Chains A and B, each alone.
Chain A
């Protein structure tokens, strides 16, 4: 996961060496050095993919999205003035790309389910694979359901609110950090977050109530 590190905290941690290395990498990339671009890509590709994956819960187009983030980054490196850590700046690009993806998904529902079918197979496989140790299949299934529900309800939120909610509630960023990441002022972010939280948790509660109702009904059906 990419950490958000502001300039102040950089000074406090005294991570000058890392910063100097980063500055050097940026300088080399700006000079068009191919090896530097490759290093940049190698260093950040996994965090970028991880961020996009977590924000969007998207497997199908993940490689395209990673590509988009890096293309934007390489195009914009000339204008990068070090106002934030490189990782933070990239995270900001990730968030914007994710926002664009959410918007396009809202406009146009996902098309061909072929890849999804394949992925569904993987998901079942993952379920068995990703349950090492004492975790029973039931617990794993329960966990997966919980994740799916989170993303399902996130999908119902308007894109900007969804992003703010994700960054605050799931990633744990504060308002100032989110304001930088989404390019809005903290007051706007606070307003979006207020409504997003109310909406999200209300739906979670409704969902739980509906599930309880369904299980009661099916329970009765079983008795009859």
Chain B
């Protein structure tokens, strides 16, 4: 008998063979050491299959994954809801084309009909139909390319625009000069295009339209631009030199005549009027020495660049996105990196643009928390390590809150629609509140409630206006029965 195919031993182990077949194979293995060894191996593999079948996955950071899923799906839904219907965009050109086609068809058909009756069709058609002169279309007047508008996605510390403090909702247009003191700002101007200006730097948006972007930089700038067409240029001017790109991510440091450029992906060309240096992904060049850097330094530079340009996941246009997104102000510790939905954003206190909805905010060593924002609103949250407040301090602030609630008729106003509908039984709201020593409410979040969203928001707003006096700082959660 020929040797047994190894897969037959798997069939035997799985009980897929008849008793007779099995006996025949066993008899062969008893006389054949090769097949016996193979049988042993296949059987051992089968037992490994059983263990693999029962293997449990490693623990994952479920909240992060959940937040990212929510971010993606909600962004897509909003983008879909906000997008103009595709068909409408093509309606006018389509009607115009159809009319033109119909006119041409009629013209040729009439010509043919008339031509059929005449002895010399060409001549007849020429004589009977008015001669149509083919006039080349007049060149369209050159219209300026559509201007670009940039949207602030991250703002921290002292940032000025044309000499005045930059507001988070300001739209950035051509001609703007943005300067940072001890601050930092990220600006997005397309689905995958944006830049981040580091502290003690300035950028002038000399050109900022659909065909060309020219940024004049002094200081440090991170750029990430999506691929440009041949008609679109993107130039960063650093003193005497120009950096031209198509689609790429790079970092420019231009201080005191020294230039350092790191390319994250894509290709960039640096020219100084005399020559041109091309830089590909993963390379860093220092113009003073004109030498490429060592690998370790290069890798850390690249890793840093990964998280520098903060962008919105869905892009419509700056105005629309500004109106539909929200500002999340985060008060964090300077030494702790804060992540929003698992994405590292920055350290300390800053404002970041997010899509409306729920977001997970966390920092190293600080328990993460969910925050919820409505479109066009802003919310401040703290991700500092909890201050060590005494139980007495917390109790005092709680009592203060409850006293204010007892006196407040505004809460009753919030609850009136719910009471009218008779759905106020067991109504509650759990608030998370942080109160500073000065009595200022540092943050106030709705943790849980069985109230309708608008009512819960109304109650939260009422609490937000409570005047707490000076006293101990306290952070606590309070369940309020309404």
Contacts and interface: CB of A to CB of B under 8 A. Distances in A.
Interface of A: 1, 32, 34, 37-38, 41, 45-46, 49-50, 52-54, 59, 62-63, 66-67, 70-71, 74-75, 122, 143, 146-147, 149-150, 169-172, 197-198, 200-202, 204-205, 207-209, 212
Given A50-B57, A146-B48, A147-B48, A201 B10 contact: yes
Interface string B6-29: 110110001000000000000000
Interface centre among B42, B45, B62 (most CB of A within 10 A): B45
Contacts of B6: 201-202, 204-205
Nearest to B49: A170
A205 B35 CA distance: 9
A172 B54 CA distance: 12
A208 B45 CA distance: 11
A150 B69 contact: no
B223 to A, nearest CB: 24
Contacts of B45: 146, 149-150, 201, 204
Contact of B60 (A41, A63, A75, A143): A63
Given A71-B69, A197-B10, A205 B53 contact: no
Contacts of B14: 169
B116 interface: no
Interface string B39-55: 01110110111011111
B339 interface: no
Nearest to B66: A41
Contacts of A75: 73, 76
A152 to B, nearest CB: 12
Nearest to B44: A146
Contacts of B358: 34
B384 interface: no
Top 3 A-B residue pairs of the complex, sorted by shortest distance between their CB atoms: A201-B6, A53-B57, A208-B41
Contacts of B357: 34
A198 B56 contact: no
Contact of B57 (A32, A62, A202): A62
B339 to A, nearest CB: 14
Interface in B416-466: none
Given A146-B48, A147-B48, A66 B65 contact: yes
Contacts of A37: 70, 73
Contact of A205 (B38, B52, B76): B38
B313 to A, nearest CB: 12
A66 B66 CA distance: 9
A198 B7 contact: yes
A150 B73 contact: no
Contacts of A53: 55-58
22 contacts: A34-B357, A37-B70, A38-B66, A46-B57, A50-B56, A53-B57, A54-B55, A54-B57, A59-B58, A63-B65, A70-B65, A71-B69, A143-B48, A147-B48, A149-B45, A149-B48, A197-B7, A200-B7, A201-B7, A204-B41, A204-B45, A205-B41
A198 B7 CA distance: 6
A169 B51 contact: no
A170 B52 contact: yes
B68 interface: yes
Contacts of A74: 69, 73
Contacts of B7: 197-198, 200-202
B-side binding surface: helix, strand, loop or mixed?
A: helix
Nearest to B41: A208
B406 to A, nearest CB: 31
Contacts of A71: 69, 72-73
Contacts of A122: 58
Contact of A198 (B5, B66, B77): B5
Given A201-B42, A208-B37, A212-B37, A150 B66 contact: no
Nearest to A55: B52
Contacts of B10: 169, 197, 201
A135 to B, nearest CB: 11
Contacts of A62: 57-58, 60
A198 B14 CA distance: 15
A75 B40 CA distance: 47
B184 interface: no
Contacts of A149: 45, 48
B311 interface: no
Contacts of A170: 49, 52-53
A200 B6 CA distance: 9
B69 A41 contact: yes
A49 B69 contact: no
A79 to B, nearest CB: 15
B69 A70 contact: yes
Contacts of B64: 63
B403 interface: no
A156 B6 CA distance: 17
Contacts of B52: 54, 147, 150, 170
